[in-house]
Amino acid sequence: MEDQQNQEQAVASLEQRLAALQQQEQELQQAIEDLRNSQSRVFQEQITELQNTLGRLMQESLSELEHRKQALQESVSQLERRQERIQAEMRKNFAGASQDLAIRVQGFKDYMVGSLQDLVLAAEQLELVPPAATQKQPEPEEAPAKRSSVPEQGFPDQAKKIRQLLEQYRALPDYYGPSWQLRRTFEKVHEERVTNWFFTLAGRGAVKSMGSRLQNILVASAVISVLRVMHGNRLRVLILATLPERLGEWRRGLQDCLGIARADFGPDGGVVLFEDPDPMVQKADRLLADGDLPMLIFDEAEEQVSLNTLRFPLWLAFGLDAQQMTRMMY
């Protein structure tokens, strides 16, 4: 009887323990479910936060890229406007950097061509020496007089040749031509000045200034180039400008437009620069006496010119209009 009671108590104890274990199992399962739900919720929150962060970063990046795009577009617009200004200035000042570089590369070629031309001219002059020695004494005196004279009334004998050369300079510019040939862009407005000087002023007078010294040098260079074709190295160019910096501009401009070298400037060269009119007149008289042909050019800033300089067969000046005179005064 006592053993049966002990067994019943043991069974009751086991049942209680089983019930406790089942309760613990349920609690553990609930805890696991809660952990899973919590983990899923945290993971979803992290994904949402990450998506929001990525979206914000993308928006900021797009905004920054848009600002950079606008800045680049403004820079491109500025560069395009600057390019247009540079191209306009190059067309206006006839001094493109690429052309300058190409001309420097051709410097040695120009030197050789000029030297050969000088040799040819020297040979032609040597061929004239024997006939001159057999003639009577009065005839050599008449020859220099004819050589130093220039056709009047608009160069009628050379009009066709002059117009052909000017048309060639304008329509077919040769940026790599020989020395003393025009090498710059020659437009209609320049041609009008040169044509007026040859055919209306007959090589002796003032044309309207182009508004800048560089443009005036281009006009003068075209005149020199044409006269050089007609008279060869008999032509000697005398330039008057009372300030050294202006003479410097003339020297650089003529070198640029005609492809001549520094050796072509000087008392015995093709171009002589003067700051005072009296030495210029004396030089022109000596050239005429030697049978050469002086051409006098006056800078646009020379408002007063000595009458003694105007008696020579060829001279070119540049006159300022009222607006240009006002700019110079102020």
pLDDT in tens, 73-97: 888 888 888 888 777 766 665 544 4
Task: Extract the tokens encoding 270.
Answer: 């093709």
Asked if 111 and 261 touch (Cβ cutoff 8 Å), the reply is yes
What strands lie across the sheet with 235-240, from one edge to the other? 204-208, 314-319, 293-298, 235-240, 271-274
**DSSP 8-class letter at 147:** H
Instruction: Name the E strands within the chain.
Output: 204-208, 235-240, 271-274, 293-298, 314-319
**The two three-digit tokens of residue 177, written as one number:** 């031509």
Confidence of residue 215 (pLDDT cuts 50, 70, 90): very high
pLDDT digits (tens, 9 = 90+) for 40-50: 899 899 999 99
Q: Is the pLDDT of residue 307 over 60?
A: yes
DSSP 224-268: HHHHHHHHGGGEEEEEE-SSHHHHHHHHHHHHHHH---GGGBSTT
CATH of 96-329, picked from 3.40.1350, 3.40.50, 3.30.450, 2.60.40, is: 3.40.50
Question: HSE-up of 136 (CA within 13 Å, CB side)?
Answer: 3
Highest mean pLDDT (candidates 1-10, 107-116, 144-153, 259-268): 259-268
**Nearest-angstrom CA–CA distance, 295 and 313:** 8
Q: How far apart are the first and last CA of the chain?
A: 142
Which neighbouring-strand residues pair with 204? 315
Who has greater pLDDT, 217 or 325?
217
Residue 265 to residue 272: CA distance in whole angstroms = 6
Confidence class for position 124, pLDDT limits 50, 70, 90: low
Helix axes 213-231, 2-93, angle to 10 degrees: 50
* pLDDT at residue 118 in the model: 56
User: For 311-328, how does the pLDDT look when each residue is reduced to its tens digit (9 = 90+)?
Assistant: 899 999 998 654 544 444
Q: Are 207 and 217 in contact (CB under 8 A)?
A: no
For the chain, give every domain's residue range.
1-93, 96-329
Cut 0.75: pTM above it: no
Least confident among 56-65, 115-124, 130-139, 211-220:
130-139
Task: Using the predicted structure, report yes or no on whether residue 268 has a pLDDT greater than 50.
Answer: yes
**Which pLDDT score, from 0 to 100, does residue 131 have?**
41
